[in-house]
Amino acid sequence: MSLAPALLDSLQAIFAADALSVEPGECAVYAYDNSRRESIPDAVVFPTTHEQVVALVAVCRTHRIALTARGRGTNTTGASIPLAGGIVASFERMNRILRIDTDNRYAVVEPGVLNADLQAALKPHGFFWAPDPTSAPFCSIGGNIACNAGGPRAVKYGATRDNVLALRAVNGCGEEFRCGKPTTKGATGYDLVRLLIGSEGTLAVITEATLKLTPLASDKRTLRATYADIAAATSAVARIMAQPVTPCALEFMDDEALRLARNHAGES
């Protein structure tokens, strides 16, 4: 389905020629993610500012056309697939780290910042951001927030929902708002931050995030333990997590997972 001329004119008023595509071949690149679903959008836009997102949502609402927000498409849920067609907003160009405040232990980033790029920027300061999903080298912070990503470190530090302090976003009416506070404690009002995290773009489009930082450990050791069965392994994990000092990450692999890993990479 092609876009109505009035809608296309409105989009062209917001986005430069290289930030808007209706070419089927280019749109097809944004028709799939890491799930098994696929649906080609009618157009793809590449916002670079919060103001563009506000204007985009308002245009989509006026023309009653679906809008799908997208990070890097590494999710397996199908959340970034434009099943109703319409417009995909890819945030890959909205990728600035706006602030790193080590005194107050937070960073402010745009949604297109890659998890790995943020970790690299934080390391010289002696900090890291806790969420470490499998796709961490190439997934975006916005995608992590949309899906409440976790990873092996979640056992100690929690998932994304436990490591975001504040958000800037645009709701379905095109109204911009902020929620949360750049502090550990924020006891006033509803906790909209935790509500938005994990909502997969269904409640608002996130344009900025204030993230809680954690100091890097001075040293780290890896331990492998083998157990006779799953019951013994789970019992051991329960005892480990009941200790005063807990591991920074835990990963469980059964015999089938080990077999697949060995077939892929060998015994090393």
Residues 109 and 138 in one domain: yes
Q: Is the pLDDT of residue 1 over 70?
A: no
Task: State the residue range of the domain holding 40.
Answer: 5-90
Structure-token pair, residue 8: 């296309």
Q: Show the 3-state SS of 160-203.
A: HHHCEEEEEEEECCCCEEEEECCCCCCCCCCCHHHHHCCCCCCC
224 domain-assigned:
no
> Which pLDDT does position 35 carry in this prediction?
92
On whether the CB atoms of residues 145 and 252 are closer than 8 A, the answer is no
**pLDDT (tens digit per residue) in 255-266:** 888 888 888 887
**pLDDT (tens digit per residue) in 49-71:** 999 999 999 999 999 999 999 99
**pLDDT (tens digit per residue) in 223-243:** 888 888 889 888 988 888 888
Q: Is the pLDDT of residue 268 over 80?
A: no
Residues 78 and 160 in one domain: no
Residues making up the chain, counted from first to last: 268
Residues 258 and 174 in one domain: no
220 domain-assigned:
no
Cα–Cα distance, 196 to 137 (Å, whole number): 24
**pLDDT (tens digit per residue) in 88-136:** 999 999 999 999 999 999 999 999 999 999 999 999 999 999 999 989 9
At 36 the three-state DSSP class reads coil
Q: Is the pTM of this model over 0.85?
A: yes
Structure-token pair, residue 78: 């199908």
